[in-house]
Structure 1
């Protein structure tokens, strides 16, 4: 995964959008202004992600749905967007502009795919076609929004910075990891409930973003230790090296100081962006301050 992203960054990394979160929040602001239009003109119905109407020629819906903000305008929404801006900028600084762009646009592409898969399921497995399918997809299009993408941005942030503390309700200090676990359980419950109730739009919308989160998690290298090739490499390495004197380690993280003696499953890598031979464990390879 990392090799693929590195190759892709070398080829098209220069096109990545710097400070992408700022532009997303600006798009939401435009969406709130559009919501001020008279009730007789329902802007949302003209912008939402409706695959049935896209195939009828309304191709602008492939892009316009990102203008629909996640909820009606309120003080809580303002606070949520400010927090989202903080989280998004933190992720961009840690991952780099290109990889953050890949995560956001990957979520959008998967959401579009989810909408078409939903329509295909209704057609193939339930035999719904024509105007009935159009009405069904029109009612379901609300599920295909940026809300779940935002949620996954926060869950990805918690993967990188699990121990950061925030003030819940501006009063209770709590680590990000516990909020993320609660959100993850809620989303998983909604996803399973949607499948049971045959609400395939919600099911595929949430599932598509969990796939994006899984791909992000894989790109951090946290799953390298379970790859068959990596397991074989470790086995061959242990059988080929000589015994190390007691108390001397081969690897040591420059951030937390952990070695292979603390956890034999830890992965260590040198950072190509740091000046010098600085080695980091898998938990700090992507979220350390580069030594210049």
Structure 2
């Protein structure tokens, strides 16, 4: 029995339904708290939530979870749009995977970024979680469309490609972000990497078989019959008929008629 179905059969009852929607709601709550606080209080509040490896080692273990609730954007309009988009993605993923697998996907991300932060002090940006959810949704529903500014339709595979391109450009500008970005997307690579590689291998096998088949095909100028007298083949005249003589040589119907007439 595969590992994930086995885990789901044992621990599926502990899964939290709508976990992505819950995270999005908490991000909005944190945004609201920051908006009503003074700048100094808001800064202290965010520091209280962030994943600080030193503070975690001193017993502030809540930071292992609360850093996920820090919104990626503190503009109210964009935060609301982002939260609604994230909730929509969460519903789609849960309909495709079920609550347990969505939980496992998010927990895998949290473990990866937490280890990166604790061991190497890499940033644990909640934006990476949003991106991995977006990439997962686009992999499962590549042709699903959204409307940019409620007008321009665009498929999710292109949204994901644009997001990946922007992240790659960011890494090219700041090479120190390479490993944090890779770790921040490790759950996506683990979830979809094997399927992607097997699909590429299958396509390569199909291409190889097609190439072997085409190379094994008989060339178009190959003939099967040739008259031993006039040297014509069925390619020269499709109406010719060939017979085998007692000698084993072939003769076409025209030369046979000439012989009979002669």
Check whether the contact 2:28–2:83 (CA below 8 A) recurs between aligned residues: no
Matched residue, 2:155: 175
Deviation at 1:223, TM superposition (A): 3.3
Check whether the contact 1:49–1:61 (CA below 8 A) recurs between aligned residues: yes
Query: Can you list the C-alpha shifts for 1:131-161, whole angstroms capped at 9, x where unaligned?
Result: xxxxxxxxx7xx4221110011111111011
SS at match of 2:59: coil
Matched residue, 1:27: 26
Alignment RMSD (CA, Å): 2.4
SS at match of 2:113: helix
Q: Give the TM-score, by structure 2 length.
A: 0.69
Matched residue, 1:145: 125
Matched residue, 2:3: 4
Deviation at 1:30, TM superposition (A): 2.4
SS at match of 2:16: coil
Matched residue, 2:198: 224
Deviation at 1:226, TM superposition (A): 6.6
Matched residue, 2:77: 75
Check whether the contact 2:134–2:160 (CA below 8 A) recurs between aligned residues: yes
Query: Can you list the C-alpha shifts for 1:104-140, whole angstroms capped at 9, x where unaligned?
Result: 1211211111212323xxxxxxxxxxxxxxxxxxxx7
Matched residue, 1:213: 188
Matched residue, 1:38: 38
Change (3 A) 1:86 1:72: same
Check whether the contact 2:109–2:129 (CA below 8 A) recurs between aligned residues: yes
Matches within 5 A, 1:51-200: 51-119=53-121, 143-195=123-175, 198=176
Deviation at 1:95, TM superposition (A): 1.0
Show structure 1 runs of 5+ residues with no match: 120-139, 232-292
Structure number with larger C-alpha Rg = 2
SS at match of 2:2: helix
Q: Give the TM-score, by structure 1 length.
A: 0.63
Change (3 A) 1:58 1:203: farther
Distance 1:73 1:90 in 2: 25
Tell me which stretches of 4 or more aligned residues in structure 1 moved more than 4 Å: 225-228
Distance 2:8 2:186 in 1: 21
Check whether the contact 2:28–2:80 (CA below 8 A) recurs between aligned residues: no
Distance 1:164 1:26 in 2: 24
Distance 1:227 1:51 in 2: 41
Distance 1:117 1:97 in 2: 30
Distance 2:160 2:58 in 1: 39
More off after superposition, 6-15 vs 163-172: 163-172
Show structure 2 runs of 5+ residues with no match: 206-262
Query: Can you list the C-alpha shifts for 1:144-195, whole angstroms capped at 9, x where unaligned?
Result: 2211100111111110111112112222112111111111111122234332
If asked which structure has higher relative contact order (CA below 8 Å, sep 6+), I would say: 1
Check whether the contact 1:148–1:205 (CA below 8 A) recurs between aligned residues: no
Change (3 A) 1:5 1:208: same
Distance 1:46 1:100 in 2: 27
